[in-house]
Structure 1
Amino acid sequence: MKASQTLAGNLQAVLTDLIELQLQGKQAHWNIVGQNFRDLHLQLDEIVLAARQFADDTAERMRSLHALPDGRSATIAEATRLSQFPEGLTNTKEAVKLITERLERTVQTMRDVHDEVDEEDPTSADLLHEFIARLEQLAWMVNAETMTANAEVQEPDEK
């Protein structure tokens, strides 16, 4: 199978945000300070590792489909949907918020392209399912660092 321009573009969008997520995760990892530093420092490594693996899986899937992944820094900076991570030291509470936002934005990119990807290549959509599940889990885990026990939790819809 050979990817259409649409499929290649959709997978490139996912790749771009995954590469940016790993870069921002490391930026946070190196520059966080404050309460629960060590826990968050280690969690950020988990996020970076997942983003790195998912980026590699995406790029290799693209090549399997005869598409050309573009991981050059200029491409990533120009095309990412993630907001730039702040410069300098970041306290852990703010870092949790920033990283959670970036995890959720990366997942949103995957959800935005999912249906078109699935229509052309269900195998690539299966990868997106795996990535979404893990990134949402990581977002929940890192966000729990600053939640309180009385925080509002959305109840599942009754059927």
Structure 2
Amino acid sequence: MPPTTRKSNVKTLKFTVPGMAQADAKSVVAILQERLDALNDLALTLKHVHWNVVGPNFIGVHTMIDPQVEAVRLMADATAERIAALGGSPAGTPGGLVSRRTWDDYSIDRADAIAHLGALDVVYDGLVKAHRKAIADTEEPDPVTQDMLIGQSHQLEQFHWFVRAHLENSSGVLSTAGAVAEKPAARRARR
């Protein structure tokens, strides 16, 4: 998920929340648009996994993923609504998401549950890191947004833990340790 920051394409805001400077609101809207794109992408990726997981752990992973999809969709909605409250215009079209994202499309198709979980470990790792950066970047200009992002991070980190629990051995070693891309993580998870 999003490891880099991109240039803001936020136009001048006509208004923002009381007590917030326009420049701060514009900065926060840009941060939130990045998070909105990442959350929308994650929801689609999780649904893709839900549809394409196979193998002996199918039902456990298949049923674990859907509540994550729903929770991430709610996070995306809250993020879009915060952008609007700050005077921005949340962009949620598929083409816009693809043109703005700084990460590659999810690379695993039909595969066994452990392979998908290995790839999702990398996805969640990047997403959680980017969310934590957004938390740090919103501390000064907008503690309300920061609070929302903290709540989202709590859930995202829990979902990441659920994924990693399948990849961890009894000694606490992750099968995906050191992997930074989905396909290598999927291969390591299968070992």
Does the TM-score normalized on the shorter chain lie above 0.5? yes
Deviations 1:56-106 (A, max 9, x none): 010011111111110110121122344311253121111001112212211
Name which of 146, 149, 153 aligns with 1:128: 149
> Are 2:47 and 1:26 aligned?
yes
- Of 169, 173, 188, which aligns to 1:148? 169
Report the AA paired with residue 47 of structure 2.
Answer: K
Q: Deviating runs (4+, > 6 A) in structure 1?
A: none
Fraction of identical pairs, as percent: 27
Partner of 1:62: 83
**Structure 2 counterpart of 1:40, one-letter code:** V
Q: Distance in 1 between matches of 2:156 and 2:103?
A: 15
**Higher helix residue share:** 1
- 2:134 paired with 1:105: no
Letter of the 2:150 counterpart = H
Aligned-partner residue type, residue 32 of structure 1: V
Matched, 1:138 2:156: no
Aligned pairs, number? 153
Partner Cα distance (1:137, 1:25) in 2: 15
**Residue 52 of structure 1 is aligned with which of 73, 85, 94?**
73
Q: Point out where structure 2 has 5 or more consecutive residues left out of the alignment.
A: 1-16, 175-191
The whole-number CA distance in structure 2 between the counterparts of 1:140 and 1:116 is: 24
Cross-structure match for 1:36: 57
Equivalent in the alignment of 2:33: 12
The 1-side partners of 2:163 and 2:103 are apart by 17
Query: Which has the larger Rg?
Result: 2
Cα separation, 1, equivalents of 2:61 and 2:133: 29
> The residue matched to 1:104 in structure 2 has which SS?
helix
Q: CA deviation at 1:10?
A: 0.2
8 Å CA contact 2:134–2:149 kept in 1: the answer is no
CA shift for structure 1 position 116: 2.4
Structure ranking higher on relative contact order (CA contacts 8 Å, 6+ apart): 1
Could you say what the CA RMSD is over the residues aligned between the two structures, in angstroms? 1.7
